[in-house]
Amino acid sequence: MKLFQAIIITGAFALSANVAVAGDADAGKSTFATKGCAGCHGASGAAPTAGTPMLAGKDAATIKQALSDFKSGSRSSPIMNGMAGLLSEAEIDNIAAYIGG
Ligand code: HEC
């Protein structure tokens, strides 16, 4: 019975992790390149130009929150409000999975 409970609990954690990072990392990688993100943040978000924050090492939830806030305008950045405005919700999930996955 204990083992059975452990399996259920482990399964629930695996499911919730999937919900947190629902995106497709491969699709996120290509969006990151085609939308010009890498031009400032560097390949994989790991080599930013001066004045641009490092994305590599941040978790998926943080990346998703930042992009959602830039898109909605609740976080203000002349550059990123425009860039995030180009992304669909699915593309935001994919990029979050790619950077933070
Ligand atoms: C022209 C340069 C430029 C481009 C292109 C660009 N960014 Fe940014 N990005 C910035 C700057 C500058 C900031 C910091 C904004 C601030 O906090 O005021 C930033 C912030 C961010 C943040 C928040 C990081 C943090 O530490 O809070 C994320 C996530 C992000 N960008 C993702 C992207 C994605 C995804 C794309 C492509 C759709 C993109 N950026 C395109 C310059 C750029």
Please choose, from the candidates 28, 44, 32, 23, the residue with its C-alpha nearest in 3D space to the C-alpha of residue 83.
Answer: 32
Question: Band of the pLDDT at 13, cuts 50, 70, 90?
Answer: very low
CATH class of domain segment(s) 23-100:
mainly alpha
53, 83 contact by CB (below 8 A): no
Cβ of 38 below 6 Å from ligand 1: no
Q: Look up tokens 């947190």; give the residue.
A: 20
Mean pLDDT value of segment 7-15: 49
Q: Are 38 and 101 in contact (CB under 8 A)?
A: no
What is the pLDDT, as a whole number, of residue 69? Answer: 98
Return the residue whose CA atom lies nearest to atom 29 of ligand 1: 63
| pLDDT tens per residue across span 15-60 | 444 445 589 999 999 999 999 999 999 999 999 999 999 999 999 9
- Alpha-carbon 26 to chain mean position: 12
Q: How far is the CA of 95 from the centre of ligand 1 (A)?
A: 12
